[in-house]
């Protein structure tokens, strides 16, 4: 009976040990506690800047969520953050 109860846990641990480690260092994405601490990184914000520039160039207004707009503000693209937040929230055209 004991092996019957422990078999699923053993298989889960073996699968976690075979998986690729996450960026935070955790091996098991199902038990990683770092997702709650996640925020938009500087590289993600720079990618958002590039995406917004490209979308503006082709005539499509790019929209971003508030967390990404705050990250744009944090890395120094303050005018772009205000402009994109305004059109994402419907405040400006």
Cα separation of 15 and 28, whole Å?
8
How many CB atoms sit inside 10 A of residue 68's CB? 22
Of how many residues is the chain composed? 93
Q: Record the pTM.
A: 0.59
Burial class (CB in 10 A: 0-12, 13-18, 19+), 45: buried
Task: List pLDDT tens digits, range 15-61.
Answer: 666 666 666 767 666 666 665 456 788 898 999 999 999 999 999 98
């Amino acid at each position: 009976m004991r092996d019957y109860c422990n078999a699923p846990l053993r298989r889960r641990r073996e699968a976690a040990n075979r998986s690729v480690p996450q960026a935070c260092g955790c091996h098991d994405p199902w038990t990683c506690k770092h997702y709650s601490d996640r925020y938009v990184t500087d590289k993600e914000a720079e990618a958002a800047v590039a995406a917004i520039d490209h979308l503006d160039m082709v005539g499509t207004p790019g929209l971003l969520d508030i967390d990404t707009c705050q990250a744009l503000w944090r890395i120094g693209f303050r005018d772009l953050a205000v402009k994109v937040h305004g059109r994402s929230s419907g405040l400006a055209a």
